[in-house]
Structure 1
Amino acid sequence: MLDLTKLARQMQGLSQHLTVEAAASRQRLELAQKHLQQAYAFQKDLIDRQEKWRDRILFANATPIEPLETCIDIPVPPKIHTVIATDGSQIAPNHHEIAYCYLLNIGRVVLHYGQNRHPILDSLPEVFYRPEDLYMSRQWGIRTEEWMGYRRTASEATVLAELACAVKGEAPSLAMVDGSLIYWFLEQLPIDARDRILPPIIEAWQRLRDAQIPLMGYLSASRNVEGMNFLRLLACPHPVPDCISYCPNQLEKIPCKIFEPLRDTSLWATQLKPGQRGPLWRSNARILDLYEDQKIYFCYIHVGTEIARIEVPAWVAENTAIFDQALGLMLAQVQKGYGYPVAIAEAHNQAVVRGGDKARFFALLEKQMIKAGLKNVGTSYKEARKRGSIA
């Protein structure tokens, strides 16, 4: 139980710390705005330096494809359209439960607008219990719980492509996922492990491209700094941005790190009005070298309640008509969802496994085990004791 009396004594110190941090953040924001204004005139030179010294730069940075001062109004979407979304949840394996297994549940949502068609609101559960599913990842030093999350990411992409292609009609469509399309976790995976996660994702994206259904990743409260890191090229005091030679230890205090920990969204909040998007960027994350021709582009949009980061594959970004239409459909989703895309929110609601669902899952499993003739079926004494208290 949380002792609120003891906790209250620490609140004063926390509030004072936040006050100091807020003042420092305002100073960093003003400095970033000045550098952004300067970068307008030197954008081409900065991009040239970025490309020339890419292999020597040690921090993630993106390349602006449009002028940095770009502020474009999002077009009104067509009244007749379809939005598809998936999201996932899981029940993690637990040695204290009646059986060591895990479950992935992928929520599926298809919303048709202006078409007099029934929506799809359901989920696809899958249980993993075979040794190759439970223990395969340990050969790479990956915990089963982590591997389960990676498998879920691949399943979400596969189900999204299958669903979108199945319901495709003449109306414009948009396929949405919650979160980034840049899977940073892949960088740390061994090649054999990565080859079991990334290819199904790329194949699913290829199906969407063949069907000409734009794919979009929606990031709320994004913590990304790829845009801010582009401005670090302007703040670099050295003749060239050669981090390996001049600043090999990026964890130390270095001269170009004058904006940290300011995020991209904080800067673009000062540049955009509701319903506007900023410039289009190409991500230079090294993991994207494995994405074949599915490079990722992004932009920041003032959706009214926040600055959202929108990510799309290269083929969407390069087709102006499809890109603009997809942004219009996205903004309509945010407005219908009172600040967050309604299709993604509903996909999450379909996927989430609540306490009652978990109890029914294990009750069903217990019934099947007893039916199969297994004896001494039940949770461990530790798990049973934690579920109730006699104190």
Structure 2
Amino acid sequence: MLDFLKISRQMQGVGRQLAQEAERSSRRIEEALRLLDWVRQNQQAVVERTAEVRSRITFLIGAPVEPLESIHPVAPIAPVHTVVATDGSQIAPSHHEIAYCSLINVGKVCLHYGTGARPLLDSQPEVFYREEDLYGNWGLSAEEALAIRRSRAETEVLADLALDCTDEGVPSVALVDGSLIHWQLEQVNNKHQRAILEPVLAAWERLRQKRIPLAGYISSSRSGDALNFLRLQLCPHPDPDCDRHCAGNTGRGAPCGLLHGLSDRRLHERLLAPGERSALWASTSRILEHYGPHRVHFCYLHTGAEVARVEMPEWVALDSELRERVLGVCLSQVEKGYGYPVALAEAHNRAVVQGGDRARFFAMLETALFKAGLQDVRVSRKEARKRGSIA
């Protein structure tokens, strides 16, 4: 139980610290803008030098696909279009529950505009209880395997939904909440990376064949790979090498540390007006080596409510018609959703597992175990004690 009186005594210190951080951040953004002006004038040379030293830099550096001075207004989406979206939630396995199992619930939404067709708002749950389903064959914990299965389920359901719900000749867009880059797989061995990604990329390929563009919408993004392209230019060494010159120190103590920790979003809040997008960038994450034509590109979009990061596979980002369709839909969806894409918000609402849902799930599980003839069905002593109180 929180003692709010004790917490209140600490809040003044929090406020002062955040105010100081905001002031420092403002000065760092000014330095980033200065660097950006210089890089814009020397972009080709900077791109070539960055490509030469990228393997020796320990922070992720984006690769610009367009001139950095490019700022593009986004055209409104056609009145007749369809938006499909998925989002997922889960019940994680616990040794303290009556049985070691998990659940993934994928919310799915299909919204038709200008056609009069009824929307689809639904969810698709799946329970995992076999050992091979809980852990996979990837050498991961049950929690890590669950996160991967959830991401895969969101993608596969999205492709099925898009192909089933969209009509021929009606422009459509498939949206997911969050990144298209499976960052967590960078810690998995190469063989397992390919096996895990195979069904995801197969689902994306189905969308590509039907020219249904896919995008990941990231609100309040903390990514900094575009700013890191500028940050590298602060390195004082003619031959940048983080491990050799800075012993791997890429924080604020390094010569380039002035821009450490700044997000791309903060920079683009100064550059973009509502309804505009930034230049395109290509991510250089190592996991993308397995993506083939689905390598992820991104840009920043000022929706009027915020500057969001929008990620797209290469086949969407480099196709002007598909790219503009995605960005136009994002703007329209944010306006309809009062600051956040309405399709993604509804998909989340359909997916989320609330406390009451969790209790009912385990009650159903308990009934199933009794019917199967199991008698000693109970939670751990620790869990039972946490649910009660002697006070």
Question: Does 2:178 correspond to 1:202?
Answer: no
User: What residue ranges of structure 1 are gaps of 5+ in the alignment?
Assistant: none
Counterpart Cα distance in 2 of 1:383 and 1:234: 54
* Deviation at residue 22 of structure 1 after TM alignment: 1.6
1:291 matched to which residue of 2?
291
Distance 1:134 1:315 in 2: 34
- Report the alpha carbon displacement of residue 55 of structure 1 after superposing the two structures with TM: 2.4
Deviation, structure 1 residue 86: 0.6
- Shift in alpha-carbon separation, 1:136–1:209, aligned structure 2, 3 A: closer
Counterpart CA distance in 1 for 2:88 and 2:201 is 18
Q: Is the 8 A contact 1:106 1:125 kept in 2?
A: yes
Match of 1:57 in 2: 57
Tell me, in whole angstroms, the C-alpha distance in 1 between the residues paired with 2:388 and 2:81. Answer: 50
Contact 2:59-2:250 at 8 Å conserved across structures: no
Report if the CA contact (8 A) 1:336-1:342 is conserved.
yes
- Report the counterpart of residue 28 of structure 2 in structure 1: 28
CA contact (8 A) 2:58 2:248 kept: no
1:167 corresponds to which residue? Answer: 165
SS at match of 2:363: helix
Match of 1:145 in 2: 143
Q: Using the alignment, how far apart are the partners of 2:46 and 2:250 within structure 1?
A: 24
CA distance in 2, matches of 1:321, 1:297: 15
Give the C-alpha shift of residue 236 in structure 1: 2.2
CA distance in 1, matches of 2:155, 2:132: 22
Structure 2 residue aligned with 1:353: 353
- Which residue is equivalent to 1:191? 190
Q: What corresponds to 2:19 in structure 1?
A: 19
1:244-283 correspondence to structure 2 within 5 Å: 244-251=243-250, 253-283=253-283
Q: 1: distance between equivalents of 2:48 and 2:136? A: 45
The one-character-per-residue Cα deviations of 1:48-94 (angstroms, maximum 9, x if unpaired) are: 11122232332211111112122211101101100011111111112
CA drift at 1:135: 4.2
Please tell me the residue identity of whatever aligns with 2:382: K
User: What is the Cα deviation at residue 30 of structure 1?
Assistant: 1.0
**Matched pairs, number:** 389
Distance in 2 between residues matched to 1:19 and 1:107, nearest whole Å? 39
SS of 2:257's partner is coil
Aligned 8 A contact 1:333 1:343 in 2: yes
Q: Within 2, Cα distance between the matches of 1:196 and 1:389?
A: 47
Q: SS of the counterpart of 1:258?
A: helix
For 2:145, the aligned partner's letter is: W
Return the alpha-carbon distance in structure 1 between the equivalents of residues 340 and 142 of structure 2.
32
For structure 2, the 5+ residue unaligned runs are none
**Alignment TM-score, normalising by the size of structure 1:** 0.95
Question: TM-score, length-normalised on structure 2?
Answer: 0.95
| Counterpart for residue 215 of structure 1 | 214
Structure 2 CA distance for aligned equivalents of residues 64 and 380 of structure 1: 54
Q: Give the deviation of 1:380 after TM superposition.
A: 2.9
Runs of 4+ in 1 over 3 A off after TM superposition: 240-248
Q: Is the 8 A contact 1:83 1:173 kept in 2?
A: yes
**Aligned residues of 1:366 and 1:377 also touching (Cα < 8 A):** yes
Distance (Å, rounded) in 2 between the aligned partners of 1:299 and 1:195: 26
Distance in 2 between residues matched to 1:303 and 1:136, nearest whole Å: 40
**Letter aligned with residue 76 of structure 1:** P
Corresponding position: 1:311 with 2:334:
no
Secondary structure of 2:271's aligned partner: coil
Contact 1:25 1:262 (C-alpha < 8 Å) held by counterparts: yes
Q: Does the 8 Å contact 1:49/1:241 carry over to 2?
A: no
Alpha-carbon contact 1:46-1:233 (below 8 Å) kept = no
Deviation at 1:261, TM superposition (A): 1.6
Q: Whole-Å Cα distance in 2 between the matches of residues 195 and 104 of structure 1?
A: 22
Separation in 2, partners of 1:187, 1:337 = 34
CA distance in 2, matches of 1:37, 1:329: 31
Is the contact between residue 333 and residue 343 of structure 2 (CA under 8 Å) also seen in structure 1? yes
